[in-house]
Amino acid sequence: MTAGPSESLRRAGGGVRERLLRAAEERFGRFGVAKTTMEDVAKAASVSRATLYRHFADREALVVAAVERRALINVPRMQAHIQRWPTFADRLVEGLIYNIDKGSRDPVVQLLIVSEQHGLVGRTLGGHTLAEGITLLMWEPIFLDAITRGEMRSDLDLRAAARWIAGVNLLLLERDRSVVTEDALREELRTFVLPAFLP
């Protein structure tokens, strides 16, 4: 039995916290992560810095929470898209393509994960296994269904699989989209990623 994602991934933010996260996303989009200060976010949310620090210990905690919030918004959409495909092979390949496409278009994901600020977020994601937790939240139901249907190896550690998929996602999100067509990416995923999951 795999351990579930962090409890914070399951919590829906509301009230002041939600307002702070929305303000942070707006500031990140406008000025970038590196140039956004806690004071900027507090002003944008019309709260004191003390209020901001009651919810987030530091800027790194705020960045993590912004990524978590975006994940909670995107996970149900992504899972609904994946369920449209009939086989696990199609679900894995098309799901990854969908993730990459949406991530590359999402300004917060783009700024926090793909931009020049990747070093900060990379440490955050690695230190808190955030990418792994988000990926497990997205993919575990699909993995379990595929195992039940005999379409995926049953001996895989699902958390390790999620960690690897998260790495593939981050790598492909950083890639220049003009270098490879969607069909070429689809073929690469079928050739180099999918076989690791098949029975």
Query: Does the pLDDT of residue 116 top 60, yes or no?
Result: no
Q: Which CATH number fits domain 7-196: 1.10.8.640, 2.40.160.20, 1.10.357.10, 3.40.50.300?
A: 1.10.357.10
Average pLDDT over residues 39-52: 95
Q: Residue with structure tokens 């890639």?
A: 175
- Output the average pLDDT for the chain: 83
Residue 27's identity, in one-letter code, is R
52-to-10, 31, 57, 98, 104 alpha-carbon distances in Å:
21, 19, 8, 34, 29
Count the neighbouring beta carbons within 10 Å of the beta carbon of residue 152.
24
SS3 call for 151: coil
Predicted confidence (pLDDT) per residue in 135-189, tens digit: 899 999 999 999 999 999 999 999 999 989 988 988 888 787 778 899 999 999 9
Q: What is the DSSP string of 18-77?
A: HHHHHHHHHHHHHH-TTT--HHHHHHHTT--HHHHHHH-SSHHHHHHHHHHHHHHHHHHH
Distance in angstroms (rounded) separating the CA atoms of residues 25 and 19: 10
Predicted confidence (pLDDT) per residue in 20-37, tens digit: 999 998 998 888 877 889
Residue 167: its pLDDT value, please?
A: 86
Kind and range of the H or E run holding 113 = none
Does residue 39 or residue 71 have the better pLDDT?
39
Do residues 30 and 90 touch, judged by C-beta distance below 8 A? no
Distance in angstroms (rounded) separating the CA atoms of residues 168 and 165: 5
Torsion of Cα atoms, 54 then 31 then 98 then 8, to 10°: -10
SS3 call for 97: helix
Dihedral sign for Cα atoms in the order 41, 47, 50, 54: negative
SS3 call for 197: coil
Burial (CB count within 10 angstroms: exposed 0-12, middle 13-18, buried 19+), residue 82 = buried
Predicted confidence (pLDDT) per residue in 73-96, tens digit: 889 999 999 999 999 999 999 999
Structure pTM? Answer: 0.76
